Amino acid sequence: MKLDFRSNRDFWSGLMFFVIGVAAIPIARDYPFGSTLRMGAGYFPTLLGAILILFGIYIMVKGLRRHEKIEGNWSLRALIMLPLSMVLFGVLMQYAGFIPALAVLIFWSAASGREFKFFEVLLVTVLLTVLSVGVFIWGLGLPYPLIKGF
């Protein structure tokens, strides 16, 4: 039985979960752990890291048993525009406010796809922005300015 890791879809996704879980535990080690009844700041990240490790191992083993191949091609446009949209969101949150930053994030992320339709993306942008303002700003009371300067 020959194992082919390079094009095994589930193996790579399981490895991603595993690596994130392994990275989360040492990062959370600097915070107090607490107990189940009195959780400290490190309790949730440590527990989540352990769950991600187990979940990652399960998916990797499942992938090695199934042999599902990765389909499709890499999109260079998506590889550049998606991380750039997140960076723009972070910068615009500081200098423009929540609504412009979120609108740019949604619009720019949608533009990275091949099936970009202006009016559909505009509608989704408006709906997600209104929903996000309702949930995060008014519902949870996060202290972000809606539009900087207003």
Q: Are residues 56 and 81 in the same domain?
A: no
Q: Are residues 17 and 55 in the same domain?
A: yes
Q: What would the pLDDT profile of 29-66 be if each residue is shown by its tens digit?
A: 888 888 888 888 888 899 999 999 999 999 998 888 88
Q: Could you tell me the pTM of the whole model?
A: 0.60
Q: Are residues 56 and 80 in the same domain?
A: no
Q: Are residues 131 and 106 in the same domain?
A: yes
Report the C-alpha gap between 83 and 88 in whole angstroms: 9
Residue 126 located in a structural domain? yes
91's tokens: 């910068």
By residue range, what is the domain housing residue 97?
Answer: 76-139
Residue 147 located in a structural domain? no
Residue 96 located in a structural domain? yes
List Cβ neighbours of 112 (8 Å cut-off, separation of 6 or more). Answer: 75, 77, 78, 80, 81, 82, 85
Q: Detail the DSSP E strand segments found in the chain.
A: none
Residue 17 located in a structural domain? yes
The domain tally of the chain equals 2
Residue 149 located in a structural domain? no
| Angle, CA 84 vertex, CA 82 and CA 148 arms, to 5° | 115
Bin 13: left if φ > 0, else alpha if -120 < ψ < 50, else beta: alpha
Q: Are residues 134 and 86 in the same domain?
A: yes
Q: Are residues 119 and 80 in the same domain?
A: yes
Q: What would the pLDDT profile of 23-33 be if each residue is shown by its tens digit?
A: 999 998 888 88
